[in-house]
Chain A
Amino acid sequence: MSARKGTAAQVMPEAVLANDDIGLATRLKLYRMQVEMRDFEKRAYDLFLQNLVKGTSHLSLGQEAIAAGFGAAMRKDDKSFCTYRGHAHTLARGVPPESVLGELMQRDNGLMRGKGGSMHLTSVEHGVLGSYAIIGAHLCIANGSAWRAQYLGEDDVSVCFFGDGTTNIGAFHEALNFAAVWSLPVIFVCENNLYMEYTPIADVTPVEHPAADRASAYGLPSIVIDGNDADIVYRTARAALDKARAGSGPSLIECKTYRHSGHSRADPAKYRPEGELERWLERDPVKIYRARLLEFGVSEDEIARIEQESRRLVNAATEACKAAPPPPAELLTTDVYADGVWSWRN
């Protein structure tokens, strides 16, 4: 965990290897999760091109280490709050790929039966308390979930993921101040993928680390980590979760990462300088982690088995979703009010 302004931690294999506190089982899990996220999103993109994934789609290819690191570190009863770029975070909590893909394909087998769409993935059963498509709000909402835990004496932690662009909206600042002054068990995780939609975050932000550099304004330590290394993310997540569970208040963690694809479906990301993507592909989290498993003595066969199982899972999900019907018409007017009807009249 690096804690100084302007010193984003870089990959340091020696240090990571020397500090083997994670254990092989968790490492295999971290790899499996990253591979599944990668396969899932590549498939989502293919299905989008076939017009089977409708509406829009915000991929987080290249950012898998963050979702996997937190997913592996969180307890089952912890709560996650995601953005519209939330496929990986939803999968990371154990939500079946079929349910997520069904929602992307707007089928009746989707998580919200097609009523929410890709930007609103929610699975209460798995602690995924929603994906929020207007940036900023969910930091404040995560505070409320954390407040509930604090008030009732429960020790689950609310973890809120957001992008670098969110750091310039008022709700980010309101939420951090509020969480700090109430000492809430909440963790704010900034996925700094260098782009605020189509615009480099540096062009619209006067500090190098848009989240971490502002943390001190709210009495929090400035934490910047390499978001492409699942081990580093996992360790940092564990520390912040332990701190929150112990009643020692919120954390803000800025994870430096890179989005391999554009902002959303329609964006070919032509605004990126030449060579930038290639440099980041060298630091692809899935690739880094595969190499690390080999260094830890995991066999090629075992790694291949994980990869094959992931592909099988995604293929099965795809077939199931293709076969699933669209949501029935009667869903149109349900769930507006608690009584199950849409009427606002007595």
Chain B
Amino acid sequence: MAELTYRDAVAHAIAQEMERDDRVVFLGEDVGKAGGVFKATVGLHEKFGPKRVRDTPISEQAILGAAMGAAMTGLRPIAEIMFSDFLAVCWDFVANEFPKLRYMTAGQLSCPLVVRTGNGAGSRFGAQHSQSVENWAMMIPGLKVVAPSSPRDVVGLFAAAVRDPDPVIFFEHKSLYAAKGEVPDGEIVDTLGTAKVVRSGQDATILALALMVSRAIAAAEMLAARHGIDAEVIDVRSLVPLDTQTILGSVARTGRLFTVEENPRLCGWGAEIASIVADEAFFDLDGPVVRITTPHIPLPAADNLEDLALPTVDRIVERVLRAMT
């Protein structure tokens, strides 16, 4: 068991897959010699050489197109889009090309690739380098969407993503890169579409993703210690496939559902889950589903304003208390 940072876990995960399979290749802007702008790919270029770890021009369409063409002809590419905001620059590939390939060709072609991207706020970068855009990807049939919250899950979910026969968008949270956690030795391979109960509880279910998981846990601890509310916290981990069994099972026991999202409020993933729970577990609910989100705003740069936008531990506690007392 080693303690790794989330950023080291990324490099470790990529290395694990490249060592396992020669067809795994990796490309992106500054990912090679520079080791990545977030230093999440340090050492890979030295270890695997420029043939397998390739620096590209600043050309997001060319990067994702090359990854797709390689994937559909037999390689297992990993492509980095530096900031998830930049997915908009190559959205044709994400929305029209990868996910529809299998369907439009009646299964003749598939697109087994992983797009890794730095997602999320907290770095005071402003509205074009801070967004959480997993909702953009979630609504597209044919894509899989993953967002790990811990170094261990980075490794396990990344291995599953690379080995998956469908295109996967892998959202790494920028504000988690320095976070540390235990990563077991040896190969770790998770299953996509498996949520994880990270704190057991009886009174309420709180769903969170990526950076929001640790805040949800902290809020649950505070609710237990100060208010006698024992909340279960579920790390959703993967939006597509979505582990509705774990979520519905938890709601059936607790009767309360809260979602904590680092997204603008409109059409967030929490809305979809709230809808599923309303459809399929309405009579398990003791009250309305509560969504804790950012307001429907672009993100500001100033630290005090950015902090105000994101769900905080205090805000999660306050919303749970308001609903339950």
Contacts and interface: CB of A to CB of B under 8 A. Distances in A.
A143 B194 contact: no
A112 B108 contact: yes
A340 B104 CA distance: 13
Contacts of B73: 79, 129, 144-145, 148-149
Contact of A338 (B25, B166, B243): B166
Given A124-B109, A174-B57, A338-B102, A140 B242 contact: no
B69 A143 contact: yes
B106 A174 contact: no
A168 interface: no
Given A344-B242, A345-B242, A144 B66 contact: yes
Interface in B50-98: 51, 54, 56-57, 59, 61-62, 64-75, 77, 92-93, 96-97
B105 A174 contact: no
Nearest to B140: A344
Interface in A80-133: 111-113, 115-116, 120, 122-124, 129-130, 132
Contacts of A137: 61, 65, 92-93, 96-97
Nearest to A156: B73
A144 B102 CA distance: 17
A170 interface: yes
B244 interface: yes
A147 B109 contact: no
Interface centre among A120, A144, A336 (most CB of B within 10 A): A144
Given A139-B65, A140-B62, A337-B142, A147 B70 contact: yes
A134 B93 CA distance: 10
B69 A122 contact: no
A159 interface: no
B268 interface: no
A344 B276 CA distance: 13
A138 B96 CA distance: 12
Contacts of B144: 337
Contact of A113 (B59, B72, B102, B106): B106
A151 B97 contact: no
B209 to A, nearest CB: 16
Nearest to B105: A122
Interface in A176-191: 177-178, 181-182
Given A120-B104, A177-B57, A346 B62 contact: no
21 contacts: A116-B106, A129-B73, A137-B97, A140-B62, A140-B64, A140-B66, A141-B66, A144-B66, A144-B70, A144-B72, A148-B73, A151-B70, A151-B75, A171-B92, A174-B61, A177-B62, A178-B57, A334-B107, A338-B164, A342-B141, A345-B193
In the A-B complex, list the 6 residue pairs whose CB atoms are closest, starting with the nearest: A144-B69, A140-B65, A338-B165, A174-B62, A178-B62, A174-B59
Given A130-B105, A158-B69, 8 more contacts: A112-B108, A115-B105, A124-B105, A143-B66, A147-B70, A337-B142, A345-B193, A346-B194
Interface of B: 25, 51, 54, 56-57, 59, 61-62, 64-75, 77, 92-93, 96-97, 101-110, 141-142, 144, 164-166, 193-194, 240-245
